[in-house]
Structure 1
Amino acid sequence: MFRHNAFLHSLNVIVLSGVGGFLLSLTGISIGWMIGALLAATILSLRYGKQQDESPVPHIGIPKYWMAVGQCMLGIELGRKMNSTFFFTFQDHWLTISTMLLLSIVFALLSGLILWKFTKLDLLTSFFAAAPGGLSTIPGIAEELGANTGVVSIAQTMRIFLVVLTIPVILSFSMGPPVEAVPELSASVSPPFQMGHIWGTALLVGIAWFGYFFGRFVKFPAPWLLGSMVSVALLQMVSTIFLNAELQAWWPSGMIVISQVLIGTSIGSRIHRSMFQGLKKIVFFSMVSTIFLIFTMFLSAYLASLLTDLPFITTALAFSPGGISEMTTTSIVLGGDSTFVLAVQVLRVIAVCVILPPLFKLIQYWEMKKNAHEHQSA
Structure 2
Amino acid sequence: MVQGQGLRLLMSSIFSSLAVRTALLLAACLAGGVAFAALHVPLPYLLGALFVSAAFGLSGFAVKLHDAFRQGGQIAAGFSVGLFFTPPVALRLLELGWLMAATGFASIIVSLFLARALALFGRCDRRTAFFAAMPGGLAEMAVLAHTFGASTTLVSLAQSLRVVLIVLIIPPAMAVFMGGERHHVAEVQQLEPHLLVLGLALCVPVALVLQRAKIFNPFLLAGLALGMGTALVIARATHAPPLVTAAAQLAIGAALGCRFQREQIRHVISTPFLPAAAATTLLLIAANVAFAALAIHFVPLPTGVLAMAPGGIAEMSLTAEALGLAPPLVAAWQLVRILSVVLLTGPLYRLYEKISAR
Q: Kindly provide the amino acid, as one letter, of the partner of residue 249 in structure 2.
A: Q
Aligned partner of 1:286 in structure 2 is 277
Q: Kindly provide the amino acid, as one letter, of the partner of residue 154 in structure 1.
A: L
Query: What is the rounded CA distance, in whole Å, between the counterparts of 1:121 and 1:259 in structure 2?
Result: 35
Aligned partner of 2:184 in structure 1 is 184
Query: In structure 2, the residue corresponding to 1:216 is in which secondary structure?
Result: helix
Query: What is the rounded CA distance, in whole Å, between the counterparts of 1:124 and 1:185 in structure 2?
Result: 44
Query: What is the rounded CA distance, in whole Å, between the counterparts of 2:30 and 2:143 in structure 1?
Result: 23
Name which of 88, 91, 94 aligns with 1:88: 91
RMSD between aligned residues: 4.4
Name which of 226, 230, 235 aligns with 2:229: 235
Task: Tell whether the 8 Å contact from 1:297 to 1:319 is kept in structure 2 after alignment.
Answer: no
1:245 aligns with 2:245: no
Q: How does 1:220-369 map to 2 (within 5 A)?
A: 220-229=215-224, 231-232=225-226, 235-236=229-230, 240=232, 245-246=235-236, 251-276=240-265, 277-278=268-269, 281-305=272-296, 309-310=297-298, 313=301, 317=305, 320-321=308-309, 323-324=316-317, 338-339=325-326, 342-357=327-342, 360=345, 362=346
Q: 1:327 to 1:66 in 2, by over 3 A?
A: closer
Q: 1:120 to 1:267 in 2, by over 3 A?
A: farther
Task: Tell whether the 8 Å contact from 1:304 to 1:315 is kept in structure 2 after alignment.
Answer: no
Aligned partner of 1:19 in structure 2 is 31
User: Bigger shift: 60-69 or 112-121?
Assistant: 112-121
1:10 aligns with 2:10: no
Aligned residues: 327
Could you tell me the percent identity over the aligned residues?
Answer: 16
Query: What is the rounded CA distance, in whole Å, between the counterparts of 2:39 and 2:126 in structure 1?
Result: 34
Query: What is the rounded CA distance, in whole Å, between the counterparts of 1:301 and 1:29 in structure 2?
Result: 24
Query: What is the rounded CA distance, in whole Å, between the counterparts of 2:19 and 2:251 in structure 1?
Result: 14
Q: After TM superposition, give the deviation of residue 110 of structure 1 in Å.
A: 4.2
Q: Kindly provide the amino acid, as one letter, of the partner of residue 349 in structure 1.
A: Q
Task: Tell whether the 8 Å contact from 2:108 to 2:341 is kept in structure 1 after alignment.
Answer: yes
Task: Tell whether the 8 Å contact from 1:129 to 1:152 is kept in structure 2 after alignment.
Answer: yes
Q: After TM superposition, give the deviation of residue 5 of structure 1 in Å.
A: 4.0
Q: Kindly provide the amino acid, as one letter, of the partner of residue 184 in structure 1.
A: H
TM-score by length of 2: 0.70
Q: How does 1:192-203 map to 2 (within 5 A)?
A: 194=192, 197-198=193-194, 200-203=195-198
Q: After TM superposition, give the deviation of residue 90 of structure 1 in Å.
A: 1.6
1:322-353 Cα shifts (integer Å, max 9, x gaps): 744656887x7xxxxx54xx444221222344
Task: Tell whether the 8 Å contact from 2:52 to 2:257 is kept in structure 1 after alignment.
Answer: yes
Task: Tell whether the 8 Å contact from 1:72 to 1:208 is kept in structure 2 after alignment.
Answer: yes
1:102-155 Cα shifts (integer Å, max 9, x gaps): 32343345445543443145778756765557xxxx457667885555443333
User: Bigger shift: 210-219 or 20-29?
Assistant: 20-29
1:207 aligns with 2:202: yes
Query: What is the rounded CA distance, in whole Å, between the counterparts of 2:322 and 2:36 in structure 1?
Result: 19
Q: 1:225 to 1:115 in 2, by over 3 A?
A: farther
Q: How does 1:64-143 map to 2 (within 5 A)?
A: 64-120=67-123, 130=133, 138=137
Aligned partner of 1:156 in structure 2 is 163
Task: Tell whether the 8 Å contact from 1:318 to 1:327 is kept in structure 2 after alignment.
Answer: yes
Q: 1:206 to 1:107 in 2, by over 3 A?
A: farther
Task: Tell whether the 8 Å contact from 1:302 to 1:315 is kept in structure 2 after alignment.
Answer: no
Task: Tell whether the 8 Å contact from 2:104 to 2:340 is kept in structure 1 after alignment.
Answer: no
Aligned partner of 1:219 in structure 2 is 214
Aligned partner of 2:40 in structure 1 is 28
Query: What is the rounded CA distance, in whole Å, between the counterparts of 1:348 and 1:208 in structure 2?
Result: 22
Query: In structure 2, the residue corresponding to 1:60 is in which secondary structure?
Result: coil
Query: What is the rounded CA distance, in whole Å, between the counterparts of 1:201 and 1:328 in structure 2?
Result: 17
Task: Tell whether the 8 Å contact from 1:298 to 1:319 is kept in structure 2 after alignment.
Answer: no
- Unaligned 5+ segments in structure 2 are 1-12, 145-151
Q: Kindly provide the amino acid, as one letter, of the partner of residue 276 in structure 2.
A: F
Aligned partner of 1:42 in structure 2 is 54
TM-score by length of 1: 0.67
Q: 1:71 to 1:310 in 2, by over 3 A?
A: closer
Q: After TM superposition, give the deviation of residue 245 of structure 1 in Å.
A: 1.9
Query: What is the rounded CA distance, in whole Å, between the counterparts of 1:91 and 1:98 in structure 2?
Result: 11
Q: Kindly provide the amino acid, as one letter, of the partner of residue 51 in structure 2.
A: L
